[in-house]
Protein backbone atom coordinates (compact mmCIF):
# COMPACT_ATOMS: atom_id res chain seq x y z
CA UNK A 1 0.00 0.00 0.00
CA UNK A 2 1.34 3.41 -1.01
CA UNK A 3 1.72 5.70 2.01
CA UNK A 4 1.48 9.48 1.94
CA UNK A 5 4.36 11.47 3.49
CA UNK A 6 2.00 12.71 6.20
CA UNK A 7 0.92 9.17 7.05
CA UNK A 8 4.55 8.09 7.40
CA UNK A 9 5.29 11.09 9.62
CA UNK A 10 2.22 10.46 11.79
CA UNK A 11 3.27 6.87 12.45
CA UNK A 12 6.31 8.29 14.21
CA UNK A 13 4.41 10.78 16.38
CA UNK A 14 4.55 9.83 20.06
CA UNK A 15 1.30 10.87 21.76
CA UNK A 16 1.58 12.77 25.01
CA UNK A 17 0.24 11.18 28.21
CA UNK A 18 -0.98 12.82 31.43
CA UNK A 19 1.87 13.24 33.89
CA UNK A 20 0.55 10.59 36.30
CA UNK A 21 0.58 7.96 33.53
CA UNK A 22 4.16 8.63 32.50
CA UNK A 23 7.26 6.83 33.73
CA UNK A 24 6.09 3.22 33.96
CA UNK A 25 3.05 1.15 34.95
CA UNK A 26 4.70 0.10 38.23
CA UNK A 27 4.60 3.73 39.41
CA UNK A 28 0.85 4.31 39.07
CA UNK A 29 -1.51 3.99 42.03
CA UNK A 30 -5.17 4.79 42.70
CA UNK A 31 -6.73 7.62 44.68
CA UNK A 32 -10.33 6.74 45.57
CA UNK A 33 -12.83 9.59 45.40
CA UNK A 34 -16.46 9.99 46.41
CA UNK A 35 -19.25 7.51 45.90
CA UNK A 36 -21.55 8.41 43.00
CA UNK A 37 -25.22 8.39 42.10
CA UNK A 38 -27.00 8.68 38.77
CA UNK A 39 -27.77 12.10 37.32
CA UNK A 40 -31.51 11.42 37.81
CA UNK A 41 -33.96 8.62 38.68
CA UNK A 42 -31.58 7.33 41.36
CA UNK A 43 -33.84 4.64 42.83
CA UNK A 44 -34.77 3.22 39.44
CA UNK A 45 -31.19 3.19 38.16
CA UNK A 46 -29.92 1.58 41.39
CA UNK A 47 -32.58 -1.12 41.11
CA UNK A 48 -31.48 -1.90 37.56
CA UNK A 49 -27.74 -1.89 38.41
CA UNK A 50 -27.49 -3.35 41.95
CA UNK A 51 -23.96 -4.70 41.38
CA UNK A 52 -22.36 -1.69 39.67
CA UNK A 53 -24.29 1.34 40.99
CA UNK A 54 -22.91 3.89 43.44
CA UNK A 55 -19.23 3.04 42.99
CA UNK A 56 -16.53 5.60 43.71
CA UNK A 57 -14.87 7.88 41.22
CA UNK A 58 -11.13 7.32 41.06
CA UNK A 59 -8.05 9.13 39.81
CA UNK A 60 -4.58 7.78 39.14
CA UNK A 61 -1.49 9.29 40.67
CA UNK A 62 2.20 8.62 41.16
CA UNK A 63 2.90 5.85 43.67
CA UNK A 64 3.51 2.14 44.03
CA UNK A 65 1.26 0.02 41.81
CA UNK A 66 -0.71 -2.25 44.15
CA UNK A 67 -2.74 -4.10 41.49
CA UNK A 68 -2.65 -7.88 41.67
CA UNK A 69 -0.28 -9.32 39.09
CA UNK A 70 -1.91 -11.63 36.55
CA UNK A 71 -1.95 -12.25 32.81
CA UNK A 72 -4.43 -9.89 31.15
CA UNK A 73 -6.41 -10.99 28.09
CA UNK A 74 -8.50 -8.08 26.85
CA UNK A 75 -11.02 -7.65 24.04
CA UNK A 76 -11.85 -4.35 22.34
CA UNK A 77 -14.56 -3.15 19.94
CA UNK A 78 -15.34 0.07 18.10
CA UNK A 79 -19.06 0.82 18.20
CA UNK A 80 -21.20 3.26 16.24
CA UNK A 81 -20.09 5.88 13.74
CA UNK A 82 -16.47 6.73 13.08
CA UNK A 83 -14.68 9.49 14.99
CA UNK A 84 -11.05 10.61 14.57
CA UNK A 85 -8.74 9.05 17.14
CA UNK A 86 -10.35 5.64 17.56
CA UNK A 87 -7.19 3.92 16.38
CA UNK A 88 -5.17 5.68 19.07
CA UNK A 89 -7.49 4.45 21.83
CA UNK A 90 -6.65 0.91 20.75
CA UNK A 91 -2.93 1.75 20.42
CA UNK A 92 -2.84 3.25 23.92
CA UNK A 93 -4.65 0.21 25.32
CA UNK A 94 -2.24 -2.13 23.54
CA UNK A 95 0.89 -0.26 24.64
CA UNK A 96 -0.16 -0.19 28.32
CA UNK A 97 -1.08 -3.85 28.21
CA UNK A 98 2.26 -4.86 26.65
CA UNK A 99 4.25 -2.50 28.90
CA UNK A 100 2.87 -4.39 31.89
CA UNK A 101 3.60 -7.87 30.55
CA UNK A 102 4.64 -8.91 27.05
CA UNK A 103 2.50 -12.03 27.49
CA UNK A 104 -0.70 -9.99 27.79
CA UNK A 105 -3.03 -10.31 24.79
CA UNK A 106 -5.39 -7.93 23.01
CA UNK A 107 -8.23 -9.26 20.85
CA UNK A 108 -9.88 -6.87 18.40
CA UNK A 109 -13.43 -7.93 17.53
CA UNK A 110 -14.39 -6.98 13.99
CA UNK A 111 -17.42 -4.99 12.88
CA UNK A 112 -18.41 -3.66 16.29
CA UNK A 113 -20.61 -5.49 18.80
CA UNK A 114 -21.59 -8.11 16.20
CA UNK A 115 -17.95 -9.27 16.24
CA UNK A 116 -18.37 -10.24 19.89
CA UNK A 117 -21.46 -12.26 19.06
CA UNK A 118 -20.05 -13.86 15.90
CA UNK A 119 -16.61 -14.39 17.49
CA UNK A 120 -14.97 -12.61 14.57
CA UNK A 121 -11.63 -11.27 15.77
CA UNK A 122 -7.95 -10.58 15.23
CA UNK A 123 -5.18 -10.91 17.82
CA UNK A 124 -3.13 -7.71 17.68
CA UNK A 125 0.65 -7.70 17.37
CA UNK A 126 3.19 -4.89 17.01
CA UNK A 127 3.26 -4.97 13.21
CA UNK A 128 -0.53 -4.74 12.90
CA UNK A 129 -0.90 -1.99 15.52
CA UNK A 130 1.96 0.11 14.15
CA UNK A 131 0.20 0.47 10.79
CA UNK A 132 -2.63 2.45 12.43
CA UNK A 133 -0.94 4.78 14.91
CA UNK A 134 -2.21 8.38 14.80
CA UNK A 135 -4.36 7.74 11.74
CA UNK A 136 -8.05 8.45 11.16
CA UNK A 137 -10.85 5.99 10.59
CA UNK A 138 -12.02 2.80 12.22
CA UNK A 139 -10.59 0.45 9.58
CA UNK A 140 -8.27 -1.23 12.08
CA UNK A 141 -11.17 -3.59 12.99
CA UNK A 142 -14.24 -1.80 11.62
CA UNK A 143 -17.31 -0.76 13.57
CA UNK A 144 -21.01 -1.48 13.71
CA UNK A 145 -24.31 -0.44 15.28
CA UNK A 146 -25.57 -3.75 16.63
CA UNK A 147 -26.92 -3.18 20.14
CA UNK A 148 -25.92 -5.47 22.98
CA UNK A 149 -29.10 -5.39 25.03
CA UNK A 150 -30.57 -8.89 25.47
CA UNK A 151 -29.56 -11.56 27.95
CA UNK A 152 -29.23 -14.02 25.07
CA UNK A 153 -26.62 -11.75 23.49
CA UNK A 154 -24.84 -11.27 26.83
CA UNK A 155 -24.63 -15.03 27.33
CA UNK A 156 -23.10 -15.49 23.86
CA UNK A 157 -20.55 -12.74 24.51
CA UNK A 158 -19.65 -14.29 27.87
CA UNK A 159 -19.19 -17.72 26.28
CA UNK A 160 -16.95 -16.32 23.53
CA UNK A 161 -14.87 -14.42 26.08
CA UNK A 162 -14.50 -17.54 28.23
CA UNK A 163 -13.35 -19.49 25.18
CA UNK A 164 -10.43 -17.10 24.66
CA UNK A 165 -9.71 -16.52 28.35
CA UNK A 166 -10.73 -12.84 28.02
CA UNK A 167 -11.10 -11.17 31.40
CA UNK A 168 -12.02 -7.63 30.25
CA UNK A 169 -13.76 -5.84 27.37
CA UNK A 170 -13.23 -2.24 26.27
CA UNK A 171 -16.15 -0.69 24.38
CA UNK A 172 -15.28 2.46 22.44
CA UNK A 173 -18.47 4.32 21.58
CA UNK A 174 -21.00 7.08 22.19
CA UNK A 175 -23.85 7.41 24.65
CA UNK A 176 -25.84 4.40 23.39
CA UNK A 177 -22.73 2.20 23.17
CA UNK A 178 -21.63 3.09 26.70
CA UNK A 179 -25.17 2.54 27.98
CA UNK A 180 -24.84 -0.96 26.53
CA UNK A 181 -21.44 -1.26 28.21
CA UNK A 182 -23.02 -0.48 31.59
CA UNK A 183 -25.78 -3.04 31.06
CA UNK A 184 -23.24 -5.66 29.96
CA UNK A 185 -21.04 -4.94 32.99
CA UNK A 186 -24.04 -5.41 35.28
CA UNK A 187 -24.90 -8.75 33.64
CA UNK A 188 -21.33 -10.02 33.99
CA UNK A 189 -21.19 -8.91 37.64
CA UNK A 190 -24.57 -10.47 38.46
CA UNK A 191 -23.48 -13.76 36.93
CA UNK A 192 -19.99 -13.79 38.44
CA UNK A 193 -18.46 -14.10 34.99
CA UNK A 194 -15.15 -12.51 35.99
CA UNK A 195 -15.27 -10.25 32.91
CA UNK A 196 -14.76 -6.51 33.39
CA UNK A 197 -16.22 -3.86 31.06
CA UNK A 198 -14.68 -0.42 30.47
CA UNK A 199 -16.08 2.28 28.18
CA UNK A 200 -14.37 5.10 26.26
CA UNK A 201 -16.29 8.30 25.32
CA UNK A 202 -16.55 8.76 21.54
CA UNK A 203 -18.80 10.93 19.37
CA UNK A 204 -17.99 13.80 17.06
CA UNK A 205 -21.45 15.24 17.81
CA UNK A 206 -20.05 16.31 21.20
CA UNK A 207 -23.18 15.22 23.11
CA UNK A 208 -21.41 12.74 25.42
CA UNK A 209 -20.12 15.25 27.95
CA UNK A 210 -20.82 16.45 31.46
CA UNK A 211 -18.95 17.81 34.47
CA UNK A 212 -16.69 14.73 34.35
CA UNK A 213 -16.33 14.06 30.63
CA UNK A 214 -15.18 17.44 29.32
CA UNK A 215 -15.04 16.37 25.69
CA UNK A 216 -15.80 13.27 23.66
CA UNK A 217 -13.00 12.23 21.36
CA UNK A 218 -13.18 13.10 17.67
CA UNK A 219 -15.04 16.37 18.28
CA UNK A 220 -11.84 18.43 18.17
CA UNK A 221 -10.67 17.00 14.82
CA UNK A 222 -14.08 16.98 13.17
CA UNK A 223 -14.89 20.58 14.03
CA UNK A 224 -11.44 21.74 12.94
CA UNK A 225 -11.98 19.92 9.64
CA UNK A 226 -15.39 21.51 9.15
CA UNK A 227 -14.08 24.92 10.23
CA UNK A 228 -11.31 24.71 7.64
CA UNK A 229 -13.88 24.05 4.90
CA UNK A 230 -16.27 26.75 6.16
CA UNK A 231 -13.34 29.17 6.32
CA UNK A 232 -12.48 28.30 2.72
CA UNK A 233 -16.12 28.87 1.73
CA UNK A 234 -16.10 32.22 3.55
CA UNK A 235 -12.96 33.25 1.67
CA UNK A 236 -14.60 32.26 -1.60
CA UNK A 237 -17.79 34.13 -0.69
CA UNK A 238 -15.78 37.22 0.17
CA UNK A 239 -13.91 36.91 -3.13
CA UNK A 240 -16.81 36.24 -5.53
CA UNK A 241 -19.27 38.43 -3.56
CA UNK A 242 -22.35 36.92 -5.20
CA UNK A 243 -23.44 33.80 -3.30
CA UNK A 244 -25.02 32.93 0.02
CA UNK A 245 -23.66 29.56 1.15
CA UNK A 246 -25.92 27.38 3.32
CA UNK A 247 -23.76 24.80 5.07
CA UNK A 248 -25.33 21.87 6.93
CA UNK A 249 -23.06 20.22 9.51
CA UNK A 250 -23.43 17.03 11.52
CA UNK A 251 -25.37 16.99 14.75
CA UNK A 252 -28.85 15.56 14.84
CA UNK A 253 -29.67 15.66 18.54
CA UNK A 254 -27.41 18.54 19.59
CA UNK A 255 -25.86 21.60 17.94
CA UNK A 256 -22.36 21.43 19.45
CA UNK A 257 -20.67 20.94 16.04
CA UNK A 258 -22.51 23.90 14.48
CA UNK A 259 -21.72 26.16 17.45
CA UNK A 260 -18.05 25.20 17.60
CA UNK A 261 -17.64 25.66 13.84
CA UNK A 262 -19.25 29.09 14.15
CA UNK A 263 -16.97 30.06 17.05
CA UNK A 264 -13.97 29.17 14.88
CA UNK A 265 -15.14 30.90 11.68
CA UNK A 266 -17.61 33.68 12.64
CA UNK A 267 -20.16 33.17 9.84
CA UNK A 268 -23.07 35.54 9.28
CA UNK A 269 -25.64 33.05 10.56
CA UNK A 270 -25.54 29.95 12.74
CA UNK A 271 -28.74 28.31 13.95
CA UNK A 272 -28.61 26.52 17.31
CA UNK A 273 -31.33 23.92 17.69
CA UNK A 274 -31.50 24.14 21.47
CA UNK A 275 -32.27 27.88 21.24
CA UNK A 276 -34.89 27.24 18.55
CA UNK A 277 -36.62 24.77 20.87
CA UNK A 278 -36.35 26.98 23.96
CA UNK A 279 -37.82 29.99 22.18
CA UNK A 280 -40.32 27.88 20.19
CA UNK A 281 -39.22 29.57 16.97
CA UNK A 282 -41.20 28.81 13.83
CA UNK A 283 -39.86 28.14 10.35
CA UNK A 284 -41.18 31.54 9.29
CA UNK A 285 -39.40 33.28 12.18
CA UNK A 286 -36.11 31.58 11.34
CA UNK A 287 -36.47 32.46 7.66
CA UNK A 288 -37.18 36.07 8.64
CA UNK A 289 -34.10 36.15 10.89
CA UNK A 290 -31.81 34.93 8.09
CA UNK A 291 -33.50 37.21 5.53
CA UNK A 292 -32.84 40.19 7.83
CA UNK A 293 -29.12 39.43 7.59
CA UNK A 294 -29.30 39.02 3.81
CA UNK A 295 -31.14 42.35 3.45
CA UNK A 296 -28.84 44.25 5.82
CA UNK A 297 -25.76 43.02 3.98
CA UNK A 298 -27.35 43.73 0.59
CA UNK A 299 -27.94 47.31 1.69
CA UNK A 300 -24.15 47.59 2.08
CA UNK A 301 -23.66 46.12 -1.40
CA UNK A 302 -22.73 42.69 -0.03
CA UNK A 303 -24.92 40.09 -1.74
CA UNK A 304 -23.05 37.21 -0.15
CA UNK A 305 -22.85 35.41 3.16
CA UNK A 306 -22.49 32.11 5.01
CA UNK A 307 -25.09 30.34 7.15
CA UNK A 308 -24.40 27.20 9.25
CA UNK A 309 -27.34 24.85 9.75
CA UNK A 310 -27.24 21.89 12.22
CA UNK A 311 -28.27 18.58 10.67
CA UNK A 312 -31.18 18.03 13.06
CA UNK A 313 -32.47 21.61 13.18
CA UNK A 314 -36.00 20.80 11.99
CA UNK A 315 -36.57 18.47 14.93
CA UNK A 316 -36.12 21.46 17.26
CA UNK A 317 -38.82 23.52 15.49
CA UNK A 318 -42.05 22.79 17.44
CA UNK A 319 -44.38 23.10 14.45
CA UNK A 320 -42.14 20.82 12.38
CA UNK A 321 -41.96 18.23 15.16
CA UNK A 322 -45.78 18.26 15.24
CA UNK A 323 -45.87 17.74 11.48
CA UNK A 324 -43.44 14.82 11.65
CA UNK A 325 -45.46 13.19 14.46
CA UNK A 326 -48.64 13.45 12.37
CA UNK A 327 -46.90 12.05 9.28
CA UNK A 328 -45.62 9.11 11.34
CA UNK A 329 -49.19 8.46 12.47
CA UNK A 330 -50.61 9.02 8.97
CA UNK A 331 -48.40 6.30 7.52
CA UNK A 332 -48.59 3.86 10.43
CA UNK A 333 -49.25 0.20 9.57
CA UNK A 334 -51.09 -0.68 6.37
CA UNK A 335 -51.78 2.99 5.54
CA UNK A 336 -48.20 3.26 4.31
CA UNK A 337 -48.90 0.64 1.64
CA UNK A 338 -51.98 2.56 0.49
CA UNK A 339 -49.94 5.77 0.24
CA UNK A 340 -47.02 4.13 -1.58
CA UNK A 341 -49.38 2.56 -4.13
CA UNK A 342 -50.63 5.96 -5.31
CA UNK A 343 -49.06 6.58 -8.75
CA UNK A 344 -48.57 10.37 -8.75
CA UNK A 345 -47.42 13.06 -6.32
CA UNK A 346 -50.70 14.91 -6.93
CA UNK A 347 -52.67 11.94 -5.60
CA UNK A 348 -50.28 11.49 -2.70
CA UNK A 349 -50.60 15.18 -1.85
CA UNK A 350 -54.38 14.83 -1.72
CA UNK A 351 -53.98 11.81 0.61
CA UNK A 352 -51.71 13.89 2.86
CA UNK A 353 -54.06 16.88 2.81
CA UNK A 354 -56.95 14.67 3.84
CA UNK A 355 -54.98 13.01 6.65
CA UNK A 356 -53.25 15.91 8.39
CA UNK A 357 -54.78 18.40 10.78
CA UNK A 358 -55.30 21.94 9.55
CA UNK A 359 -52.35 23.15 11.66
CA UNK A 360 -49.95 20.49 10.36
CA UNK A 361 -51.08 21.02 6.79
CA UNK A 362 -50.39 24.75 7.08
CA UNK A 363 -46.75 23.91 7.88
CA UNK A 364 -46.54 21.27 5.17
CA UNK A 365 -47.93 23.64 2.54
CA UNK A 366 -45.17 26.24 2.96
CA UNK A 367 -42.41 23.69 2.38
CA UNK A 368 -40.74 23.45 -1.04
CA UNK A 369 -42.01 20.43 -2.97
CA UNK A 370 -38.67 18.61 -2.83
CA UNK A 371 -38.68 18.89 0.98
CA UNK A 372 -42.31 17.72 1.12
CA UNK A 373 -41.32 14.62 -0.82
CA UNK A 374 -38.26 14.00 1.37
CA UNK A 375 -40.62 13.66 4.34
CA UNK A 376 -42.11 10.61 2.64
CA UNK A 377 -38.90 8.86 1.69
CA UNK A 378 -37.93 5.47 3.10
CA UNK A 379 -38.89 5.14 6.78
CA UNK A 380 -36.56 4.04 9.57
CA UNK A 381 -36.97 0.53 11.12
CA UNK A 382 -39.64 1.92 13.46
CA UNK A 383 -41.69 3.41 10.61
CA UNK A 384 -40.70 7.01 11.36
CA UNK A 385 -39.52 9.88 9.16
CA UNK A 386 -35.75 9.81 8.69
CA UNK A 387 -35.05 13.42 9.55
CA UNK A 388 -31.39 13.08 8.56
CA UNK A 389 -32.51 12.69 4.93
CA UNK A 390 -34.12 16.13 4.92
CA UNK A 391 -31.93 18.66 3.13
CA UNK A 392 -32.43 21.37 5.73
CA UNK A 393 -29.83 23.61 4.12
CA UNK A 394 -31.98 23.69 0.96
CA UNK A 395 -35.16 24.07 3.01
CA UNK A 396 -33.91 27.23 4.68
CA UNK A 397 -32.47 28.78 1.53
CA UNK A 398 -35.84 28.23 -0.19
CA UNK A 399 -37.75 29.76 2.74
CA UNK A 400 -35.38 32.73 2.77
CA UNK A 401 -35.81 33.23 -1.00
CA UNK A 402 -39.59 33.26 -0.61
CA UNK A 403 -39.28 35.76 2.22
CA UNK A 404 -37.01 38.02 0.15
CA UNK A 405 -39.31 37.77 -2.88
CA UNK A 406 -42.15 39.04 -0.68
CA UNK A 407 -39.96 41.90 0.54
CA UNK A 408 -38.98 42.74 -3.01
CA UNK A 409 -42.64 42.81 -4.07
CA UNK A 410 -43.33 45.19 -1.18
CA UNK A 411 -40.41 47.39 -2.24
CA UNK A 412 -38.42 46.87 0.96
CA UNK A 413 -35.58 44.76 -0.51
CA UNK A 414 -33.53 45.49 -3.62
CA UNK A 415 -30.61 43.07 -3.37
CA UNK A 416 -29.69 39.87 -5.18
CA UNK A 417 -29.89 36.41 -3.60
CA UNK A 418 -28.23 33.30 -5.06
CA UNK A 419 -27.78 30.27 -2.81
CA UNK A 420 -25.26 27.44 -2.88
CA UNK A 421 -25.54 24.37 -0.64
CA UNK A 422 -23.08 22.13 1.21
CA UNK A 423 -23.33 19.21 3.65
CA UNK A 424 -20.30 18.58 5.82
CA UNK A 425 -20.60 15.17 7.40
CA UNK A 426 -18.39 12.31 6.32
CA UNK A 427 -15.55 14.74 5.56
CA UNK A 428 -14.82 14.98 9.29
CA UNK A 429 -15.47 11.50 10.63
CA UNK A 430 -12.21 9.86 9.55
CA UNK A 431 -9.76 12.76 9.27
CA UNK A 432 -6.21 12.40 10.55
CA UNK A 433 -6.70 13.17 14.26
CA UNK A 434 -5.40 16.49 15.52
CA UNK A 435 -2.55 16.38 18.02
CA UNK A 436 -5.16 16.97 20.73
CA UNK A 437 -7.27 13.97 19.67
CA UNK A 438 -4.18 11.81 19.07
CA UNK A 439 -2.99 12.57 22.62
CA UNK A 440 -6.44 12.41 24.23
CA UNK A 441 -7.41 9.12 22.60
CA UNK A 442 -4.08 7.46 23.35
CA UNK A 443 -4.47 8.57 26.97
CA UNK A 444 -8.05 7.18 27.11
CA UNK A 445 -6.83 3.78 25.89
CA UNK A 446 -3.80 3.70 28.18
CA UNK A 447 -5.99 4.75 31.08
CA UNK A 448 -8.60 2.08 30.22
CA UNK A 449 -5.97 -0.58 30.79
CA UNK A 450 -5.11 0.90 34.17
CA UNK A 451 -8.79 0.60 35.15
CA UNK A 452 -8.72 -3.02 34.03
CA UNK A 453 -5.51 -3.76 35.94
CA UNK A 454 -7.02 -2.39 39.14
CA UNK A 455 -10.16 -4.51 38.71
CA UNK A 456 -12.78 -1.87 37.89
CA UNK A 457 -15.88 -2.66 35.84
CA UNK A 458 -18.79 -0.58 34.55
CA UNK A 459 -16.44 2.42 34.45
CA UNK A 460 -15.76 5.01 31.76
CA UNK A 461 -12.15 5.92 31.03
CA UNK A 462 -11.89 9.57 32.03
CA UNK A 463 -9.23 12.17 31.20
CA UNK A 464 -9.93 15.73 32.34
CA UNK A 465 -8.34 19.19 32.75
CA UNK A 466 -8.11 19.06 28.96
CA UNK A 467 -7.69 22.81 28.44
CA UNK A 468 -4.22 22.52 30.05
CA UNK A 469 -1.07 20.97 28.48
CA UNK A 470 -1.19 17.16 28.41
CA UNK A 471 1.32 16.92 31.27
CA UNK A 472 -1.37 18.44 33.52
CA UNK A 473 -4.27 16.25 32.38
CA UNK A 474 -5.93 14.16 35.09
CA UNK A 475 -6.57 10.48 34.38
CA UNK A 476 -9.03 8.25 36.21
CA UNK A 477 -12.45 6.65 35.92
CA UNK A 478 -16.10 7.13 36.74
CA UNK A 479 -18.99 4.67 36.99
CA UNK A 480 -21.06 4.83 33.80
CA UNK A 481 -24.22 4.74 35.91
CA UNK A 482 -23.38 8.23 37.17
CA UNK A 483 -24.38 9.63 33.75
CA UNK A 484 -27.63 7.69 33.42
CA UNK A 485 -31.31 8.52 33.70
CA UNK A 486 -34.57 6.88 32.64
CA UNK A 487 -36.04 7.82 29.25
CA UNK A 488 -38.99 6.56 27.26
CA UNK A 489 -37.69 4.62 24.26
CA UNK A 490 -39.98 2.72 21.87
CA UNK A 491 -42.79 2.50 24.39
CA UNK A 492 -40.70 1.36 27.36
CA UNK A 493 -38.67 2.98 30.14
CA UNK A 494 -34.96 2.47 29.47
CA UNK A 495 -31.82 3.41 31.40
CA UNK A 496 -29.70 5.59 29.09
CA UNK A 497 -26.84 8.05 29.30
CA UNK A 498 -28.33 11.53 29.22
CA UNK A 499 -27.39 13.38 26.03
CA UNK A 500 -25.62 16.68 26.62
CA UNK A 501 -27.24 19.49 24.65
CA UNK A 502 -25.84 22.98 24.08
CA UNK A 503 -26.29 24.93 27.31
CA UNK A 504 -27.87 28.28 26.52
CA UNK A 505 -26.44 29.69 29.77
CA UNK A 506 -22.99 28.24 29.07
CA UNK A 507 -19.99 30.37 28.15
CA UNK A 508 -19.65 29.13 24.53
CA UNK A 509 -23.23 30.02 23.60
CA UNK A 510 -23.10 33.30 25.55
CA UNK A 511 -20.00 34.36 23.62
CA UNK A 512 -21.72 33.48 20.34
CA UNK A 513 -24.89 35.28 21.42
CA UNK A 514 -22.94 38.43 22.30
CA UNK A 515 -21.27 38.60 18.89
CA UNK A 516 -23.72 37.19 16.35
CA UNK A 517 -25.55 40.47 15.68
CA UNK A 518 -22.31 41.98 14.43
CA UNK A 519 -21.38 38.85 12.48
CA UNK A 520 -24.81 38.87 10.80
CA UNK A 521 -24.28 42.30 9.25
CA UNK A 522 -20.51 42.75 9.00
CA UNK A 523 -17.95 40.52 7.33
CA UNK A 524 -16.05 39.18 10.35
CA UNK A 525 -14.91 35.90 8.84
CA UNK A 526 -12.04 33.92 10.38
CA UNK A 527 -10.08 31.52 8.18
CA UNK A 528 -8.72 28.74 10.45
CA UNK A 529 -6.88 26.84 7.73
CA UNK A 530 -5.92 23.17 7.86
CA UNK A 531 -5.15 21.22 11.05
CA UNK A 532 -1.47 21.71 11.94
CA UNK A 533 0.59 18.80 13.27
CA UNK A 534 4.06 20.37 13.44
CA UNK A 535 5.06 23.67 14.96
CA UNK A 536 4.45 25.71 18.12
CA UNK A 537 2.12 24.21 20.71
CA UNK A 538 -0.31 27.16 20.55
CA UNK A 539 -0.90 26.28 16.89
CA UNK A 540 -0.70 22.49 16.94
CA UNK A 541 -2.10 21.46 20.33
CA UNK A 542 -4.82 24.08 20.84
CA UNK A 543 -8.20 22.60 21.69
CA UNK A 544 -11.70 23.72 20.73
CA UNK A 545 -13.11 27.18 21.36
CA UNK A 546 -15.93 25.45 23.24
CA UNK A 547 -13.57 23.90 25.80
CA UNK A 548 -11.47 27.06 26.07
CA UNK A 549 -14.54 29.18 26.83
CA UNK A 550 -15.99 26.63 29.25
CA UNK A 551 -12.74 26.49 31.22
CA UNK A 552 -11.78 30.16 30.96
- Name the residues annotated as catalytic: 205
184 with 157: CB under 8 angstroms?
yes
Closest by alpha carbon to 40, among 344, 484, 394?
Answer: 484
Residue 192 CB neighbours (<10 A): 8
Backbone torsions φ then ψ of 67, nearest 5 degrees:
-70, 145
Please tell me the number of Cα atoms within 13 Å of 491 on its side-chain side.
1
C-alpha span between 540 and 533 (Å, rounded): 5
What is the strand order of the sheet 305-310 is part of?
269-270, 305-310, 244-249, 419-424
C-alpha span between 521 and 512 (Å, rounded): 14
Residue 442 CB neighbours (<10 A): 32
Closest by alpha carbon to 138, among 450, 426, 380?
Answer: 426
90 with 77: CB under 8 angstroms?
no
∠ Cα 78 429 274 (to 5°): 100
E strand residue ranges, 482-529: 484-489, 492-497
C-alpha span between 314 and 434 (Å, rounded): 31
C-alpha span between 166 and 187 (Å, rounded): 16
C-alpha span between 186 and 49 (Å, rounded): 6
Amino acid sequence: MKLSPLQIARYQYQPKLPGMLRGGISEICVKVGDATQSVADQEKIQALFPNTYGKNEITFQKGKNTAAGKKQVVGVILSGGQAPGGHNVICGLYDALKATDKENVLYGFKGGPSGLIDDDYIVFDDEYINAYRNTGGFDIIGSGRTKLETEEQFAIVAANCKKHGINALVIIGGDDSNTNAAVLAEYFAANNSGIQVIGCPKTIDGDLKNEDIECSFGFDTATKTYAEIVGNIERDANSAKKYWHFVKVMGRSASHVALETALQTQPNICLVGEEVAAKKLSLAALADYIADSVAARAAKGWNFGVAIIPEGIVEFVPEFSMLIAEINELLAGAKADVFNALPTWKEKYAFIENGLTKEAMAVFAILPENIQQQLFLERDPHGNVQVSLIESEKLFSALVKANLDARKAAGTYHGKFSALHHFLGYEGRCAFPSNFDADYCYSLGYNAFMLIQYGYTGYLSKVSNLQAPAEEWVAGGMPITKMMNIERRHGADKPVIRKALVELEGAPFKFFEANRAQWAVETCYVYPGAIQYFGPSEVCDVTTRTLALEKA
